[in-house]
Structure 1
Amino acid sequence: MLQTLSIKQFAIIDTLEIQFSDGLTVLSGETGAGKSIIIDAIGQLIGMRASSDYVRHGEKKAIIEGIFDIDDSKDAISILEDLSIDVEEDFLLVKREIFSTGKSICRINNQVVTLAVLRKVMQELLDIHGQHETQTLLKQKYHLQLLDNYSEGSYQELLDQYTTTYDKYISKKRELSDLESADQALLQRLDLLKFQNDELKEAHLKENEVEQLEADINRIKNSENLNLALNNAHLTLTDEHAITDRLYELSNQLDTINQILPEKYDSLKEEIDQFYYTLEDAKHQLYDELTNTEFDEQYLNELESRMNLLNNLKRKYGKDVSELITYQEKIESEINKIENYEASTSQLRKEISELYHQVITIGKDLSKARRQVAQTLRDHIVDEIQNLQMKDANLEISFKPLDEPNREGIEFIEFLISPNKGEPLKSLNKIASGGELSRIMLALKTIFVKSRGQTAILFDEVDSGVSGQAAQKMAEKMRDLANYIQVICISHLPQVASMSDHHLLISKDTLDDRTTTKVEELIDETRIDEVARMISGANVTELTRQNAKEMIEQNHKL
């Protein structure tokens, strides 16, 4: 949940800090007081697009900071751990700086992150529902995604199986299409591939050959220095003052000592003997190396010629030797396909047919699983809508076969609604009444917020166009939702405001000829006054205040 919001030099806001709590928080105020600006500021924390227009006139940058309690958001914590972002005491500090140049910087727990990372983390914590989000819910192309989210993974294995099979099917279709569309150019390409294949095959490429060539060339070029060093090292172990002879003599002396002082120098003698045998072995190795070390100009020329060949191939193809070996295998396979064009296309058509049959078979099983979940979701949505003073409303989730399967399935899925008795089912975007639309959106959002597992939701005037009993029911719905998720709501409805656990008043003030927004938490009499203003407008009477007081008391008894 969002605990603290700090805003500096943002739009008409100079400096503002708001403390939020759990439950239902309502933000109210006159039109133009700055409620939408606060929504825009919170939007910056979840990764919405920044603009230099947000920076207060005359300032270099705007700063928005939010402190979130993420104790209940395991998904967010898991994402943060995957991103190696430190999480201390289950609190998250999110900061967005917007500069007058239009540039913005995002930070999570003081660590700079990309906008994409910010969005990925914050979508697990906070959801802002406004006009844009309403339009998203109305669009048919999102309905299948909503259904799959609601399923909570009950058919995820089947969905993964379908997606994998469909991807194979499309890949094979693309492969066949490429072969057929390239028919005219196949012979030209075949000539090129054969030339490249012959050239690479003739080179007899080997893994790690370049490294071995470099070592061999270096050895021969430095054979004189190497020979001298080997000879000196060998002489050290074989001349009249050889250390091995001295060690042998030392070992004999220790034998004599051990006869007089039994066991006292046994360990030392073992170490001396071991060192002696090691040097003896080194002496033989140095001798073998010495006899094999000589400058061979012809062999050096052969090695350098080979190295030049490999370097030329690497430059020509833009690949290292290992990649060239893989490329040769690939073009051999392509040559085989082109030379066996008819056989290849026939085999591909057979594979495509088999995969299409699998797609349809798995798709039918997936559709069956979706229909079962859809019935549960349909009943859930109808219950929610009817509870919002739309008792005759009906909703169905329509499944229609697609002409061709797509990556999502084999059917077209859409939410259809009949807001009133006797009306036919129609698309959500055909709803004409703003009040009906607001209630339907609240019902849908209530359901899908629960399925997403977020910890806070912000409603931006979701109650627009609603009044009377419908407004009361919407207020009750928001309060119920606030029992397990933080709800922040901008509202003009006294029913919603009187139902809230916390009420913040947004207003404008003028200081030094500049307008700024301020926030005041309302309690007791000030809250009654604001609810009374929301009931009657500017003319607040004692009767209106009494009405507001009774509304607050009554709603808190529910």
Structure 2
Amino acid sequence: MLQTLSIKQFAIIDELEVHFGDGLTVLSGETGSGKSIIIDAIGQLIGMRASSDFVRHGEKKSIIEGIFDIDESKEAISLLHDLSIDIDEDFLLVKREIFSSGKSICRINNQIVTLQDLRKVMQELLDIHGQHETQSLLKQKYHLRLLDHYAEDRYSKFLKQYEDTFDAYSAKKKELEELETADQALLQRLDLLKFQHEELKEAKLVENEVDQLEKDIKRIQNSENLSLSLNSAHVTLTDEHAITDRLYELSQQLQTINEIIPGQYDQLKEEVDQFYYTLEDAKHQLYDELSNTEFDEQYLNTLESRMNLLNNLKRKYGKNINELIVYQSKLENEINKIENYEESTSDLRLQIDQLYEKVMDFGQKLSKERRTVAQSLRDHIVEEIHNLQMKDANLEISFKPLEQPTREGIEFVEFLISPNKGEPLKSLNKIASGGELSRIMLALKSIFVKTRGQTAILFDEVDSGVSGQAAQKMAEKMKDLSQHIQVICISHLPQVAAMSDHHLLISKASEDDRTTTQVKELTGEGCIEEVARMIAGASVTELTKQNAKEMIQQNK
């Protein structure tokens, strides 16, 4: 639930702090007093779009902060853990800074988060419902979402099967469409692919060939220096002062010593002999190397030409040699696919037909489950709207087959209503009365809020167009909701205000040629005065005040 709202330099608000309690909180005030501004501020905390117009004139930025109790929201806590946001004692500090440039910064517990992540977390905590959301009920696509949400996990397995199969079906259809619409382009591309494949094939690429070429070219280019060094090293090991001859003599001397002093110099003699054999091997290796070392200009030209070819291919394709070898294989596969176009499209059509059958099969199973849940939802909604003084109203959830399946299903789902006895069922957007639509919306909210897991809901003048007994029933419904979830309501109805656990009065004041919005929590006589004003308007009489007092006491 929302505990504290702090607003600074936002619209006409200079600085304001509002404390909210649990149960039903009503915000009231004269038209234009700034109630909608407070809703806009709360909207910024749940990730609504920011605007430079929100920044108070003459200021650089607005700051909105909210403290939320998240102890009962497992979904929000799980999301916060996923975002690596520390949670301190089940309280959440949400902050939004809006700059005069129009940009904004979002923070949760002092950690900067994206606007998308802010929305994900806050939609689990607070729901703002105003006229815009009421209008969304008129859209048919919203009705299926409501049904699936009401079902919770009752057919999640069927829905997942259907969505996965439909995604596979759509992917194959897209693949076929690309093949069919790009027929001519494919033939042109085939020429290019064949040219590239032939060019790479003729190059006879070998993995890591460039490294070996660089070594071979360097060897030939430095063959003269290499030959001199090899010769000098070989002479060192073969002339009359050769170290190998001296080592042989040393070995013989150590042998003589060991015969006189057995065992004392055995280790030394083994090491000398090992060194002798090592140098003997080196002598033969140097000789072989020397025999194979000569400057071969023709071979050097061949190697350099090969290196130029490989470097040109690398520049042309933007890949190294190993990557070009992989690319050559891909070219071959794509060429085969295009050359076997008819076979490919025929195979794709077969796969599409098979997947379509699965889509329809899973779709029918999903539809069967949806219809079962829809009957339960229909009964639940009818019960709720009857309780809101629409006792003759009837509602049905209509299922009509679609010409083509969509990712949502194989049927068109729509809520149809007959507000009065004897009237035919018709779409919600055909309802003339705003009051009727408001009551249907509240009925739906009362059903879905209890299962959603959110901890607070804010109603923005959703009771407009309602009066009399219907207004009383709407007030009772909001009060009932507040037993399960924190309800904050902007209202002009005295019935709703009289039912509140907390009543906040919004007003405007002028100071130093600037207008500011103020919030005052009403108690006792203050509540009576405000409810009386909501009943009678500007002319509040003692009789009106007595009526307001009785209304509040009766609701208590």
TM-score normalised by length of structure 1: 0.83
The CA deviation at 1:320 is 5.5
The alpha-carbon distance between structure 1 residues 202 and 449, as it changes in their structure 2 partners (threshold 3 A), is: farther
**Range with greater deviation from structure 2 (494-503 or 449-458):** 449-458
**Range with greater deviation from structure 2 (167-176 or 388-397):** 167-176
Residue equivalent to 1:430: 430
Aligned AA (2:462): V
The alpha-carbon distance between structure 1 residues 328 and 394, as it changes in their structure 2 partners (threshold 3 A), is: farther
Does the 8 Å CA contact 1:217/1:304 hold for their aligned counterparts? no
The alpha-carbon distance between structure 1 residues 338 and 502, as it changes in their structure 2 partners (threshold 3 A), is: same
Cα distance in 1, alignment partners of residues 204 and 75 from structure 2: 53
The CA deviation at 1:374 is 1.0
* Residue aligned with 1:88, SS: coil
Does the 8 Å CA contact 1:9/1:62 hold for their aligned counterparts? yes
Cα distance in 2, alignment partners of residues 120 and 287 from structure 1: 73
1:192-224 CA-partner distances (Å, limit 9, x unpaired): 1122223344455677x4896699689979999
The CA deviation at 1:85 is 2.1
**Range with greater deviation from structure 2 (530-539 or 303-312):** 303-312
Residue equivalent to 2:131: 131
The CA deviation at 1:111 is 1.7
The CA deviation at 1:527 is 1.0
2:38 equivalent to 1:38: yes
Residue equivalent to 2:365: 365
Matches within 5 A, 1:33-432: 33-203=33-203, 209=208, 312-319=312-319, 324-432=324-432
Aligned AA (1:402): L
Percent identity (aligned): 74
2:7 equivalent to 1:11: no
Does the 8 Å CA contact 2:127/2:458 hold for their aligned counterparts? yes
* Residue aligned with 1:517, SS: strand
The alpha-carbon distance between structure 1 residues 331 and 19, as it changes in their structure 2 partners (threshold 3 A), is: same
Which structure has the larger Rg? 2
Cα distance in 2, alignment partners of residues 210 and 28 from structure 1: 81
* Residue aligned with 2:451, SS: helix
The CA deviation at 1:351 is 1.4
Aligned AA (1:128): I
Cα distance in 1, alignment partners of residues 109 and 81 from structure 2: 12
Aligned AA (1:98): I
Cα distance in 2, alignment partners of residues 456 and 213 from structure 1: 71
1:341-382 CA-partner distances (Å, limit 9, x unpaired): 222222222111111111111111111111111111111111
Does the 8 Å CA contact 1:213/1:303 hold for their aligned counterparts? no
Q: Which runs of 5+ in 2 are unaligned?
A: 238-242, 248-270
Cα distance in 1, alignment partners of residues 364 and 513 from structure 2: 68
Residue equivalent to 2:553: 553
Residue equivalent to 1:450: 450
The alpha-carbon distance between structure 1 residues 218 and 550, as it changes in their structure 2 partners (threshold 3 A), is: farther
Cα distance in 1, alignment partners of residues 430 and 144 from structure 2: 19
Cα distance in 2, alignment partners of residues 26 and 330 from structure 1: 67
Residue equivalent to 1:515: 515
Residue equivalent to 1:260: none
Does the 8 Å CA contact 1:47/1:115 hold for their aligned counterparts? yes
1:422-473 CA-partner distances (Å, limit 9, x unpaired): 1111111111111111101111122223333211111000111111111111
Residue equivalent to 1:270: none
Q: RMSD across aligned C-alpha pairs, in angstroms?
A: 3.6
Cα distance in 1, alignment partners of residues 315 and 17 from structure 2: 61
The alpha-carbon distance between structure 1 residues 337 and 467, as it changes in their structure 2 partners (threshold 3 A), is: same
The alpha-carbon distance between structure 1 residues 439 and 326, as it changes in their structure 2 partners (threshold 3 A), is: farther
Aligned AA (1:544): T
Aligned AA (1:463): D
The CA deviation at 1:179 is 2.1
Aligned AA (1:377): L
Q: How many residues align?
A: 513
Residue equivalent to 1:463: 463
The alpha-carbon distance between structure 1 residues 11 and 368, as it changes in their structure 2 partners (threshold 3 A), is: same
**Range with greater deviation from structure 2 (92-101 or 214-223):** 214-223
Cα distance in 2, alignment partners of residues 218 and 515 from structure 1: 84
Cα distance in 2, alignment partners of residues 217 and 84 from structure 1: 55
Aligned AA (2:370): R
Does the 8 Å CA contact 2:450/2:484 hold for their aligned counterparts? no
Aligned AA (1:40): D
The alpha-carbon distance between structure 1 residues 340 and 485, as it changes in their structure 2 partners (threshold 3 A), is: same
Cα distance in 2, alignment partners of residues 296 and 8 from structure 1: 86
The CA deviation at 1:163 is 1.5
Cα distance in 2, alignment partners of residues 485 and 348 from structure 1: 52
The alpha-carbon distance between structure 1 residues 195 and 2, as it changes in their structure 2 partners (threshold 3 A), is: same
Aligned AA (1:386): H
Matches within 5 A, 1:516-535: 516-535=516-535
The CA deviation at 1:75 is 1.4
**Range with greater deviation from structure 2 (79-88 or 41-50):** 79-88
